[in-house]
Structure 1
Amino acid sequence: MELSSIYRFPVKSAAGHALQRAEADALGLVGDRRWMVVAADSGRFLTQRVLPQMARIQPQWLGGDGLLLRAPGLPDLPVALPDRGAEARLVTIWGRQVSAPDAGNAAADWLGQALGRPCRLVFLPAEQGLQVDLDYASPGDKAAFSDGFPFLLIGQSSLDDLSARVGRTFDMIRFRPNLVVAGAAPFAEDDWRRIRIGDMTFRVAKPCSRCVIPTVDPVTGERAADGEPLATLMRYRKREGGVFFGQNLIADGPGVLDVGMPVERLE
């Protein structure tokens, strides 16, 4: 087995991009979901579940220089990392309130034009992080603005199996994983408990329950009228608690990941 793809999503629920190499820190891939769009009035996080057009926002992570926002019909907008004196905004993600630095009015105005509603952009500093659910993790295990866990892994054969059942090919990126593994049987990842990729080791925390986001075309931002591929997943991947596709991971420490690295099941 090998690591066949790596994906980073700089802004939660916006477009992502493939990488050949990625550094990982205590929150996941460096630059992954460190930014989040929230409603201007309530501070509640916004995603493609409600705003599928978020798929057309194409952010580029610029490291210490911040972020570059891109979207069709709008000028590119560089966004600096909020400094220590930036306004802290109280935001809500999955019922949890977090104080996060606001990225400023220029980013808010740009996103308002892109999404057609008042919103703000906030940033999560690397030293902050959100505690992972203690039902599946240890104290000190943290994530960024992802849906609860630092990493999401999917087997390429699992997607191939799903595509065959639907009768058309789906791109992996619509499922928004960080890590894709080739060379395993379909859904082999369901039975993994610990794995090694290169020099990094990971705990497999829990299966990933899926929402409607995989029905959104990552290029057009349009939701599939037939509800695919979620409709087919519901026929053969529904279990108590949801419809599952992929596995959430927690790394045992920081490291570097390269496409092509060997993947070993430890448990």
Structure 2
Amino acid sequence: MHPPESATVEHILMYPIKSLDERSVERVEIVTNGGLAGDREYALFDGDGDYVNGKNDRQVHPIRAAYDGETARAEAVTLSTPEQEPRRFELGAVANDETAALTDWLRAWFGYPVTLDHNHEGGFPDDTTASGPTIISEATIETVAGWFDGVDPAGMRRRLRPNIVLGGVPPFWEDHLFADRESRVRFTIGDADFLGVNPCQRCVVPSRDPDTGNEIEDFNKTFIAQRRATMPDWSGGDWFNHDFRLMVNTAVPEASWGETIAVGDELTVDKTVPADETSVPAE
């Protein structure tokens, strides 16, 4: 059976503070650099200017973050940990450098100075070349969750941290959205144009419980074996020098900055073009 040529946006997920909890929204504007307004708009840094994230510090995982705001951009965050009562902080104040209460809270938890920086336009993307939203299908999340005992789809989604989750398609359908290293796949979501760049290379974070940071034993080994065994005919190109890749990194042409995407929008695949005809260079 030939897979469908389009999919539907089922969830749009934002991470207002990079490395902390998600926030689900119904619609969002694409901003400068092709990112989503409010996504990873804030980030934690240590005294050396390095990210404080789950990859570098397991103490990130027990932090719970809940966000307030009328738009896709969060206006306030309530933080808590197993040892600290919930406390609300205005993010607008953070943008104006009134950060003493928040940085004191962060220092008390981490045990060293941590600051919160802000980038209103474009945020702090994981991939600065393919800085558009990351995309995966709900069917893929469900399938990958089934590879591991005790992990449900909601928990796997939290481990993988996508921006756009697609419905109405089979597992790994999103692999249609990239080709080889010298090519890009054009597609649309609603009225916005996108370029599919590559399958996301995963780090240690998906192996860890998003609440505790505890790792699943042999997570990488199991993931790689299952990814190889379930690889559809439409996956591949020359990206899979290893199989610890899942989810699609994208870029958004400048002409689509300012467009809005929403839950329920259709994603339609267009054509594959040479990378040198796009704004995203070949690898």
Residue identity opposite 1:217 in structure 2 = D
Which structure 2 segments of 5+ residues have no match? 1-6, 178-184, 229-239, 272-283
Compute the displacement of 1:209 (Å).
0.4
More strand by share: 1
Q: 1:232 to 1:170 in 2, by over 3 A?
A: farther
**Counterpart of 1:264 in structure 2: which amino acid?**
T
The match for 2:270 is: 266
Using the alignment, how far apart are the partners of 2:243 and 2:118 within structure 1? Answer: 30
What are the residue-to-residue correspondences of 1:31-110 with 2, within 5 Å? Answer: 31-39=38-46, 41-55=47-61, 56-60=63-67, 62=69, 66-72=75-81, 73-81=84-92, 104-110=99-105
Listed one character per residue, the Cα deviations across residues 87-117 of structure 1 (whole Å, up to 9, x for unaligned) are xxxxxxxxxxxxxxx5632221111123333
Within 5 Å, give how 1:1-267 maps onto structure 2. Answer: 1-27=7-33, 28-39=35-46, 41-55=47-61, 56-60=63-67, 62=69, 66-72=75-81, 73-81=84-92, 104-126=99-121, 143-148=122-127, 149-167=131-149, 168-171=151-154, 172-192=157-177, 193-218=185-210, 220-228=211-219, 230-237=220-227, 239-240=240-241, 243-252=244-253, 253=256, 254-267=258-271
- Paired residues in the alignment total 232
Identical aligned pairs, as a percentage? 23
The answer to whether the 8 Å contact 1:10/1:61 transfers is no
CA distance in 1, matches of 2:24, 2:119: 22
Deviation string 1:9-49 (CA, Å, 9 cap, x unpaired) is 0111111122222222224111110111011x211111101
Further displaced range: 198-207 or 230-239: 230-239
Structure richer in helix, relative to its length? 2
Q: TM-score, normalised by structure 2?
A: 0.73
Q: When the two structures are superposed, what TM-score results if normalisation uses the length of structure 1? A: 0.77
User: What's the offset of the Cα at 1:197?
Assistant: 1.3
Q: Which letter maps to 2:36?
A: L
Question: Do the aligned residues in 2 keep the contact of 1:157 with 1:185 (CA within 8 Å)?
Answer: yes
Q: What is the aligned partner in structure 1 of residue 180 from structure 2?
A: none
After alignment, is 57-66 or 163-172 more displaced? Answer: 57-66
The structure with the larger Rg is: 2
CA shift at 1:236, angstroms? 4.0
- Mapped partners of 1:194, 1:157: distance in 2: 22
Counterpart of 1:196 in 2: which secondary structure? strand
Uncovered stretches (5+) of structure 1, i.e. residues with no partner: 87-101, 127-142
The letter for the 2-side match of 1:204 is G
C-alpha RMSD over aligned residues = 2.5
Structure 1 residues 157, 18: CA separation in 2 closer, same or farther (over 3 Å shift)? same
